[in-house]
């Protein structure tokens, strides 16, 4: 497929914009990437996503698809190259969608709470949510992976993309919260090894933002410089 048939509107700090990039790489697809520069977004973005006006947006044959997990599912359904990202078994597919939704609806709220929190109490609450969520995800990894390398088995799948896209911001959260490693090798050996494998995968390693660069961006968010545009990260 020609790159002109696939365009992705994204932004380097956004974990949500990273998701379709990983999916496109896993499917070995050619695409044109259109970086959106914070805090100014392009007219193409507003035209393509007039409801939420945020990234990411995949444009396939001039038709826009919005919301990161929906885009990943679309890529998986439309393009048969590479491995399937969602399980073929209906129950396993439902479980994968459950955990991806949990990551977005519950766990990400705690992660972003560390960035947006203005008081120590808010940050302590957010850190508690992060660690509790990671404990649940450790248990889920052991159960879902069935001893294999990823949530998706031997290759990166849907839940891997959903959680793995957050790892850059998790490192930032560790710095903001004064923690050395929230995915502790002793307490969370499954997630610890999984994160190492995920970040070193050829489809991911060049997409993961540098921690220092992301930390500096986070400080601008905390200062309120981009406060009106923080929702554009999702």
CATH number at residue 69: 3.40.30.10
Please give the pLDDT value at position 162. 98
**Which tens digits make up the pLDDT trace of 142-196?**
999 999 999 999 999 999 999 999 999 999 988 888 777 889 899 999 999 999 9
Q: Is residue 212 assigned to a domain?
A: yes
- Average pLDDT of 17-37? 96
Which pair of structure tokens corresponds to residue 148?
């294999």
Q: Put the strands of the sheet holding 57-60 in their side by side order.
A: 32-35, 6-10, 57-60, 63-66
- Residues 124, 214, single domain; the answer is yes
- pLDDT band, residue 228 (cuts 50/70/90): very low
Give pTM, 2 decimals. 0.93
- Residues 70, 99, single domain; the answer is no
* CB count in 10 Å sphere of residue 49: 19
pLDDT at 33 over 60: yes
pLDDT at 234 over 80: no
- Residues 94, 177, single domain; the answer is yes
pLDDT at 229 over 50: no
Please give the pLDDT value at position 230. 47
**Which tens digits make up the pLDDT trace of 1-17?**
555 599 999 999 999 99
Contacts of 100 (CB under 8 A, 6+ apart): 69, 158, 159, 162
Domain residues for the domain of 37 are 6-78
Distance of alpha carbon 34 from alpha carbon 7, whole angstroms? 7
**Which tens digits make up the pLDDT trace of 74-125?**
999 999 999 999 999 999 999 999 999 999 999 999 998 877 777 888 888 9
- Residues 198, 133, single domain; the answer is yes
- Residues 57, 113, single domain; the answer is no
- Average pLDDT of 23-47? 93
Classify 187 as helix, strand or coil.
coil
CB 13 within 8 A of CB 38: yes
- Average pLDDT of 200-206? 97
């Amino acid at each position: 497929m020609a790159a002109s048939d696939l365009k992705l509107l994204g932004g380097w700090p956004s974990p949500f914009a990273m998701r379709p990039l990983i999916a496109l790489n896993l499917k070995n697809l050619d695409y044109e990437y259109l970086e959106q520069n914070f805090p100014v977004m392009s007219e193409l973005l507003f035209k393509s996503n007039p409801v939420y006006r945020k990234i990411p947006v995949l444009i396939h044959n001039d038709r826009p698809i919005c919301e990161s997990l929906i885009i990943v599912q679309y890529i998986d359904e439309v393009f048969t190259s590479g491995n399937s990202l969602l399980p073929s078994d209906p129950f396993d597919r439902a479980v994968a969608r459950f955990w991806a939704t949990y990551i977005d609806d519950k766990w990400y709220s705690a992660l972003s709470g560390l960035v947006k929190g203005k008081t120590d109490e808010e940050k302590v609450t957010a850190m508690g949510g992060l660690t509790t969520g990671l404990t649940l995800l450790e248990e889920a990894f052991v159960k879902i992976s069935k001893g294999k390398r990823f949530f998706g088995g031997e290759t990166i799948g849907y839940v891997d993309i959903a959680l793995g896209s957050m790892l850059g911001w998790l490192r930032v959260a560790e710095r903001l919260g004064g923690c050395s490693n929230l995915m502790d090798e002793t307490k969370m050996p499954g997630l610890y090894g999984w994160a190492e494998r995920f970040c070193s995968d050829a489809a991911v390693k060049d997409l993961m933002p540098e921690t220092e660069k992301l930390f500096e961006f986070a400080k601008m968010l905390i200062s309120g410089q981009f406060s009106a545009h923080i929702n554009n990260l999702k």
